[in-house]
Amino acid sequence: MAKYIVIRGVVIDGARQPGDIVELNPKSQQTMELMAYGKIRLVAEEEIMDVEITNRAIGVDTSIQAPIKRGRKNGRN
């Protein structure tokens, strides 16, 4: 079994998003086809890093209201 990184979204044992790491048999037909289509790439062990999930909404200030959009009123001036 070798580790591959998903480049484009595929269905391998369920849906996989770009950036996911999957383990596949390098000699299987499915693996060879996905590599030929450019959907997966062999990854070295030193390339695999743990991803820290962070809340991107921290620090967003919601106290400022959005400006009111004023448009035409049924063709009247």
> pLDDT by residue (tens digit) across 8-62?
888 887 888 888 888 899 899 988 999 898 899 998 776 666 666 666 665 666 6
pTM of the model: 0.56
Domains identified in the chain, total number: 1
Structural domain contains residue 36? yes
DSSP class per residue in 4-59: EEESS-EESSSEE-TT-EEEE-TTSHHHHHHHHHTSEEE--GGG--PPPP--TTTT
Judge whether 62 lies within some domain. no
Asked if residue 54 belongs to a domain, the reply is: no
pLDDT of residue 54: 64
Domain presence at residue 22: yes
Q: Which domain holds residue 31?
A: 2-47
Q: Is residue 60 part of a domain?
A: no
- Is residue 24 domain-resident? yes
Is residue 65 in some structural domain?
no
